[in-house]
Structure 1
Amino acid sequence: MTTIERKRIRPGILLALVLSSGISCAAQQSSAEAAIHARLRNECRRAARIIRTGRPAPRLTWAAERIPECTDVGPAALGRRWRMIGGNADDLEALTLATMRVRDGALFTDLLAVAEDGSRPPQVRVATMLALAKLTNPGLSIPLSFLTPPDTIRRIPMALGSTTHASRGHGTVAMPPGYRLQILALLEQLTADRAGQPREVWYAAGMLAKRVRADLADTPEP
């Protein structure tokens, strides 16, 4: 082989090596991404199972933090848990924080049903109302304990809380038109029904109704 022929072959070999290296890197990247997606799917399935059953209890906080990222299974798991959960304060706090980070039409319907259901514990209904109020102002942060009625009620104050950066997962079902007005109507209805509602419910509803009304005034329905 002459020197000229060797010079002509070397660029071809270099090009082949470069292409081979690029294909190998792309394959490795694709494999790594597939592994990440598989891990996230498995974590979402595990988080959804923990949310639905409430067990194991020590993993509830982890599941509540993870579930808002699980747009396919998260809303259904949260909705089912709301229909089953009791009045344990720690469980309610974790579930409320998780729900407040999810925007999904089916979950919205579940929350409305629980808030209206007089057979559910008052603490559960108050927590669902707080999660609903959060939908009108994604940056709103109000601890559940702020909604507890005092021994003597002279008037119902507006629920006050800090405003945080809104980070929210979106489910697969769109929110219905006018959902913020639906939330306000429910809260006002519960506030007005003092004779038929537990004290904890109508007081919290009144606080949240004032806050939702103020938020709607600042950012009206489109």
Structure 2
Amino acid sequence: ALWPTAPPTRRRGAGSTSTTGGDKMRLHVQGIALILTIAAVITPGRSLEAQTERQDPHVRNDCRLAAQVLETGHPAPHYEWALEFISKCEETGAPVLAALWRRAADTERLDRLSMSSYLLRDARITDAVTEAAQNRALPRLVRLNAIRVLAGHAVPEYNLSIRDLLRRENEFSIIPFPSVDHIRVRNGERPVDQAAIRGIVEALGPIRNDPDADVAAAAARTRRQICSRLGWQDCNQRR
């Protein structure tokens, strides 16, 4: 099993005379050791920003643990940790995050899912997030967060909020999205290349006519911002 298990019960031989002081102390120490072992496994404190899943066996093991938790939902207390850590997994992370978007029918933990998806730029996540943005059956908040991730995949400096997406502007006056340069994003095994960014722009086109006014406005604003930031003079004329 991947998760640490409880220490085996100590079997007392014929010479044992007491089960009180000494045994209780040993069990107490073993319990503390187990807690520290789990904490060591799930606490990303080993300068992970400088390591990759491919290079570091410790990171690789933590990525397997995170994927297991997100795929099964167990153990539930570690779900939040797993959803945050999976963004550090350039090999394991993309399929897991893509699967989460494809079943994102509610808004629970949506902000954390969006942030992890933004931090790991992989075309498989881009594809799944694009499907979510286009899916009119999904809740508005899911679709808006999907557009938010698409913006960040197209322009890594765009770590946006929903408010940023919905700020009103007209087609003749572009108020630039806020941008950041201190957040470290990772490229997955299938990096988001220029063709994928063009695909994002093309996918946002029809969403500008969505019956949900907020989703339509967010798609239109995001499309204009990407085109302006990348200097693509022709893409705002495309449908």
With structure 1 as the length reference, what TM-score do the two structures score? 0.68
How far off its partner does 1:165 sit?
Answer: 2.5
> In structure 2, how many angstroms separate the alpha carbons of the residues matched to 1:139 and 1:58?
32
- Structure 1 CA distance for aligned equivalents of residues 140 and 207 of structure 2: 12
Query: Are 2:190 and 1:173 aligned?
Result: yes
Structure 1: segments with no counterpart, 5+ residues: 1-35
Q: Who is 2:147 aligned against?
A: 129
The worse-fitting range, judged by mean Cα deviation, of 98-107 and 71-80 is 98-107
Equivalent residue for 1:160? 177
Any residues of structure 2 matched to 1:1-222 within 5 Å, and which? Answer: 37-53=56-72, 59-88=78-107, 91-148=109-166, 155=170, 158=175, 160-175=177-192, 177-191=194-208, 193-194=209-210, 197-217=211-231
Moved more, 100-109 or 44-53: 44-53
Structure with greater helix share of residues: 1
| Identity within the alignment, % | 23
**Residue 176 of structure 1: how far off its partner (Å):** 5.3
Comparing both chains, which one has the higher relative contact order based on Cα–Cα distances under 8 Å and sequence gaps of 6 or more?
Answer: 1
1:43 is displaced (CA, Å) by 1.4
State how far apart, in whole Å, the 2-side matches of 1:132 and 1:159 are: 16
Q: By how many angstroms is 1:214 displaced?
A: 1.4
Stretches of structure 2 that go unaligned for 5 or more consecutive residues are: 1-54
Structure 1 CA distance, aligned partners of 2:233 and 2:156?
Answer: 12
Post-superposition CA distance 1:147-197 (Å, at most 9, x none): 357xxx785765622323241222222445522222122223211x14xx3
Report the AA paired with residue 184 of structure 1: V
Provide the C-alpha distance between the structure 2 equivalents of 1:84 and 1:53, rounded to a whole number of angstroms. 13
Structure 1 residue 70, shift from structure 2 partner: 0.9
- Between 1:104-113 and 1:176-185, the stretch displaced more is 176-185
Distance 1:182 1:188 in 2: 10
The normalised TM-score by structure 2 is 0.63
C-alpha separation between the residues in 1 aligned to 2:90 and 2:80?
Answer: 18
The number of equivalent residue pairs is 179
Q: Counterparts of 1:141 and 1:124 in 2: how far apart (Å)?
A: 16
- Which amino acid letter does the alignment assign opposite residue 105 of structure 1? A
Structure 1: which 4+ aligned runs deviate by more than 4 Å? 53-58, 153-159, 218-221
Compared with structure 1, are the counterparts of its residues 57 and 199 closer, same or farther at alpha carbon in structure 2 (3 Å cutoff)? farther
- Root mean square deviation, CA, Å: 3.1
State the structure with more CA Rg.
1
